[in-house]
């Protein structure tokens, strides 16, 4: 029997697997509200479930276009957090102490190991004299090494100002992208297929009129000067991990960013999800593959065969195998609920071509 998978096609295993399986990996989202010292709850957009649902829908529409099978669940509002009034207006420089306190007082702060934890504050990342309303997310790959004894802690929370970004919803997808270990594109984002986006620092500074257009126009000039193709220019200027204006509803991610998302989620955030992703690449040079897209550990890398990936997948279902385009000339029976997907460029076949 031969099965052919085109890019973005999935659920091929529905023909083979016994019982039901999930074609998506759901990421659970838990929202908490930091109360002021007098017990006041922040009031504004991100206390509204309809606003959350609209933002989740935008993020998931983008995720669906990218075809890797991840989606965010609608959030649960998991109570107010009292005793943290000093962080009701979270100032720049307080991020890591705040996270450390949140994580080490999980019962009081309602921090959950099985969900993406979002904390809503009144103001975020400004100063007492000049409050700001922004989002912030820690990256689970990077230890919080700047603060001892926090250096053993991996970043795991997202913080929103309650009235952050009244218009488009791309800000949530951007901050959640950081949570999945994605990095801004104007520096080393540890992804091979995203060149440094030469966004000028000038356009990020306060007082610059229409800074978003400024960034876009200067990045366009810089990108074209570096010989970017039209496709790459589109990917970079619509990239959700940039600060460009065009990325709010129709955002993009590169293949490398999608690989990193899946790898880092499996490595650090698997408990938040209903499944994990394994990569399969025929003829992989890895000597001891572990199902990651690349050698994050010595001897690691994609599985050689679909059979290897199926063997690693959870027998109860919910895991996804990402196949690199190739003919996997294997004769096999899949008897567990595992979903098969293919990367965007190309197709894959299982069995005789």
Predicted pLDDT at 231: 82
pLDDT tens profile 160-178: 999 997 556 788 999 999 9
Residue 207: its pLDDT value, please?
44
Average pLDDT over residues 68-96: 96
Do residues 162 and 184 make contact, with C-beta atoms less than 8 angstroms apart? no
Q: If you average pLDDT over each of 95-99, 111-115, 283-287, which comes out highest?
A: 111-115
Residue 57 confidence (pLDDT)? 93
> Which of 65-74, 233-242, 336-345 bottoms out in mean pLDDT, i.e. has the lowest?
233-242
Average pLDDT of span 180-201: 81
pLDDT, position 143 = 66
Q: How confident is the model at residue 10 (pLDDT cuts 50, 70, 90)?
A: very low
Task: Compute the distance between CA of residue 306 and CA of residue 282 in angstroms, rounded to an integer.
Answer: 8
- Reply yes or no on whether the pLDDT at 323 is more than 90: yes
Residue 17 pLDDT: 34
Mean of the per-residue pLDDT values for the chain? 83
Provide the pLDDT confidence category of residue 198 given band limits of 50, 70 and 90.
Answer: low
Mean pLDDT score, 207-217: 47
What is the spatial distance between Cα 157 and Cα 260, in angstroms, rounded to a whole number?
A: 18
Confidence of residue 22 (pLDDT cuts 50, 70, 90): low
What domains can you pick out in the chain, each with its CATH number?
A: 3-23+274-350 (no CATH), 26-179 (3.40.390)
Nearest CA among 348, 332, 293, 339 for reference residue 313: 339
Tell me: pLDDT of 321 over 50.
yes
Kindly give, in sequence order, each residue whose CB lies less than 8 Å from that of residue 261, ignoring residues fewer than 6 positions away.
68, 70, 177, 180, 181, 182, 253
For the ranges 19-23, 50-54, 129-133, 193-197, the lowest mean pLDDT is seen at 19-23
**pLDDT band, very low/low/confident/very high, at 220 (cuts 50, 70, 90):** low
Are β-strands 123-126 and 89-91 bridged in parallel, bridged antiparallel, or unpaired? parallel
Give Cα separations from 142 to 59, 145, 183, 246, 257 (angstroms).
24, 8, 11, 29, 16
- Name which of 148, 122, 118, 149 is nearest 133 in CA terms: 122
Of the listed ranges 147-156, 233-242, 328-337, the one predicted with least confidence: 147-156
Using the predicted structure, report yes or no on whether residue 290 has a pLDDT greater than 80.
yes
Question: 177, 243 in Cβ contact below 8 A?
Answer: no
pLDDT value at residue 4: 52
Which range, of 193-197, 253-257, 323-327, averages the lowest pLDDT? 193-197
Name the pLDDT band for 237 (thresholds 50, 70, 90). Answer: confident
Residue 247: pLDDT over 70: no
- Percent of the chain at pLDDT > 70 equals 79
Q: Is the dihedral of CA 324, 325, 331, 333 positive or negative?
A: positive
């Amino acid at each position: 029997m031969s099965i052919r998978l085109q890019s973005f096609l999935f659920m091929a295993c529905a023909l083979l697997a016994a019982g039901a399986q999930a074609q998506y990996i759901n990421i659970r989202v838990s929202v908490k509200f930091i109360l002021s010292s007098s017990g006041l709850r922040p009031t504004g957009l991100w206390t509204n479930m309809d606003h959350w649902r609209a933002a989740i829908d935008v993020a998931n529409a983008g995720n669906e276009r990218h075809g890797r099978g991840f989606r965010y669940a609608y959030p649960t509002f998991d109570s107010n957090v009292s005793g943290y009034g000093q962080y009701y207006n979270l100032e720049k420089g307080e991020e890591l102490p705040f996270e450390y306190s949140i994580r080490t007082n999980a019962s009081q702060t309602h921090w959950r190991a099985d969900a993406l934890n979002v904390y809503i504050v009144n103001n975020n990342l400004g100063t007492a004299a000049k409050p700001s309303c922004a989002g912030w997310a820690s990256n689970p790959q990077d230890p919080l090494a700047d603060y001892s004894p926090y250096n053993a802690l991996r970043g795991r929370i997202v913080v929103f100002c309650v009235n952050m970004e009244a218009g488009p919803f791309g800000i949530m997808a951007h901050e959640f992208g950081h949570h999945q270990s994605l990095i801004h594109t104007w520096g080393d984002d540890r992804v091979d297929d995203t060149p440094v986006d030469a966004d000028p620092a000038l356009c990020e500074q306060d007082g610059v009129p229409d800074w978003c257009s400024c960034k876009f126009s200067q990045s366009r000039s810089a990108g074209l000067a570096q010989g970017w193709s039209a496709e790459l220019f589109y990917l970079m200027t619509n990239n959700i991990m940039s600060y460009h204006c065009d990325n709010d509803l129709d955002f993009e991610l590169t293949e490398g960013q999608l690989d990193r998302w899946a790898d880092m989620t499996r490595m650090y955030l698997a408990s938040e999800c209903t499944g994990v992703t394994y990569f399969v690449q025929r003829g992989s040079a890895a000597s001891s593959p572990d199902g990651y897209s690349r050698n994050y550990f010595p001897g690691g890398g994609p599985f050689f065969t679909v059979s290897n990936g199926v063997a690693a997948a959870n027998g109860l279902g919910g895991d996804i195998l990402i196949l690199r385009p190739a003919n996997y000339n294997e004769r096999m029976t899949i008897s567990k609920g595992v979903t098969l997907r293919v990367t965007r460029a190309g197709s894959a076949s299982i069995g005789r071509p």
